[in-house]
Amino acid sequence: MFSIQSKWRYLFMFLGIQLVVMALLSREGYHKRVTYFIRIFRKTESTVLMARNHTTGAAVGADVYANLSRMSKGHNGGDDMPFCPKTSPYIGGPIHVSFPSGLTLAEVQRKNPTVVRGGRYRPPDCEALHRTAIIIPHRNREHHLKFLLYYLHPFLQRQQLNYGIYVIHQAGNYTFNRAKLMNVGFREAMREEDWDCLFFHDVDLIPEDDRNTYTCDSNPKHAAIAMDKFGYKLPYKMYFGGVSALTPLHYLKMNGFPNNYWGWGGEDDDIGVRVSLGGMYITRPSLKVGRYKMIKHKLDKGNDVNPKRFNMLAKTRQTWKLDGMNTVEYEIVSREYLPLYTNITVNIGTEAGLHVRPPTAPPPKPPAEKPANKTAKGPANPPAKLKEDHKTTQ
């Protein structure tokens, strides 16, 4: 029979042996496995935290930057890198999302030292299994962009992706056109790299769980299924707005997105209908995982509700092959490879077409006696000097 004392002695001996084995494994280069075991205990803690969080309704979750320092330590950069595992060991589940005042882009840059020019990243210690481009339609939302970059960079790094972030900035003040900007983003991103997945991402949506992997499925995926704005529920079955993921093949099968939805609303439903017209269906992560916080905002200037949207939507079946990726016209104004993203400023024209003519000039005056001065003003509103011109031919 064991006495209580000897029971304790055996228990301590057992724990001691465990510690020695762990130390040896760690020394022999089994660091990942050891940390894996350590994380199992940590995870239980975070699950308890999460459970508590669900009952109170408050958002807790982990710091999205918690795992990053460990990642960069394994850097080897050689050609003989192994492939990354199917499931990243750095994924941790719920993420704490808040919007502290005083955050700067310089701070985001400082916290993401492994992100390179143009907002590109590759895992330092393994060959990524996925190449994902993030396409963000944008105008006048720099404040939101800063927060999105703050959360998205570490989020994607935790998923061990080879990724790039593209911000597609609509030039000028004409009515905003989200879907057309996505078409531009698709073409311009694919021009640079053979991305195997494109995430079309509103600037104000912050993912709250890193198990929501930014990779593509065999069918188009609607990722922003549970937004705080809609009480963390899908507002209606065909909803496809906010954040969606398509492979280049999916995108071309549905002829991309429509170019003619100017102003707020309708385009996301049109895209949803295009998915089924292209012979595909919408996949979704679970409600638990596809959670997003939308940074609070009002409807923007220059993005009034589109009153034609319901009429247009009723005709998608007739129009989807006539308007989309095969007809998109735009002019690139500038392309900047910034430290945290690639900024593409684009002229997408207006409802009247790409080149808006200045208002008809009044009838010419009879010729003046003196020859015209060289510094005389040109026509009102001259077209901007643009670097590249793109018209799709398919």
- Chain centre to alpha carbon of residue 241: 13
120 binds, among Mn ion, ligand UDH, none (CB under 5 to 8 A by kind): none
Min separation Cβ 265 and ligand UDH, Å: 8
Contacts of residue 185, defined as CB under 8 A and 6 or more positions apart, other chains included, come to: 133, 135, 136, 137, 166, 168, 198, 200, 344
377 binds, among Mn ion, ligand UDH, none (CB under 5 to 8 A by kind): none
The secondary structure of the chain in percent helix, strand, coil, rounded to multiples of 5, reads: 30, 20, 50
Min separation Cβ 242 and Mn ion, Å: 8
* Phi and psi, residue 34, nearest 5°: -65, -45
53 conformational bin, left if phi > 0, alpha if psi -120 to 50, beta if neither = alpha
Residue whose entry in the numeric block shows the structure tokens 């492994």: 114
Q: Please check whether residue 130 is in contact with residue 88, taking contact to mean a CB–CB distance below 8 angstroms.
A: no
DSSP string, 10-28: HHHHHHHHHHHHHHHHHHT
Min separation Cβ 82 and ligand UDH, Å: 37
Min separation Cβ 53 and ligand UDH, Å: 25
Token pair of 27 as six digits = 């020394």
Min separation Cβ 180 and ligand UDH, Å: 11
Min separation Cβ 168 and Mn ion, Å: 16
Closer CB to Mn ion, 233 or 355, in the complex: 233
State how far the Cα of 253 lies from the Cα of 278, in Å rounded to an integer: 5
Closer CB to ligand UDH, 23 or 299, in the complex: 299
Closer CB to ligand UDH, 295 or 354, in the complex: 295
Closer CB to ligand UDH, 162 or 204, in the complex: 204
Q: Please check whether residue 346 is in contact with residue 331, taking contact to mean a CB–CB distance below 8 angstroms.
A: yes
Minimal CB distance to Mn ion: which residue?
204
Q: How crowded is the C-beta side of 376, counted as CA atoms within 13 Å?
A: 7
State how far the Cα of 271 lies from the Cα of 135, in Å rounded to an integer: 15
Closer CB to ligand UDH, 65 or 99, in the complex: 99
Min separation Cβ 322 and Mn ion, Å: 29
Closer CB to ligand UDH, 90 or 151, in the complex: 151
Token pair of 254 as six digits = 């549905």
Closer CB to Mn ion, 189 or 205, in the complex: 205
Which spans of this chain sit near Mn ion (rule: CB under 5 A)?
204
293 binds, among ligand UDH, Mn ion, none (CB under 5 to 8 A by kind): none
Q: Please check whether residue 203 is in contact with residue 148, taking contact to mean a CB–CB distance below 8 angstroms.
A: yes
137 binds, among ligand UDH, Mn ion, none (CB under 5 to 8 A by kind): ligand UDH
Closer CB to ligand UDH, 90 or 341, in the complex: 341
141 binds, among ligand UDH, Mn ion, none (CB under 5 to 8 A by kind): ligand UDH
Which spans of this chain sit near ligand UDH (rule: CB under 6 A)?
137-141, 176, 178, 202-204, 264, 298-300, 302-303
* Phi and psi, residue 143, nearest 5°: -60, -40
Closer CB to ligand UDH, 204 or 270, in the complex: 204
302 binds, among Mn ion, ligand UDH, none (CB under 5 to 8 A by kind): ligand UDH
178 binds, among ligand UDH, Mn ion, none (CB under 5 to 8 A by kind): ligand UDH
Number of H helices, E strands in the chain: 10, 12
Token pair of 268 as six digits = 């996301």
121 binds, among ligand UDH, Mn ion, none (CB under 5 to 8 A by kind): none
Gyration radius of the chain's alpha carbons: 26
Min separation Cβ 202 and Mn ion, Å: 6
Min separation Cβ 178 and ligand UDH, Å: 5
The C-alpha angle with vertex 256 and arms to 297 and 211, in degrees rounded to 5, equals 60
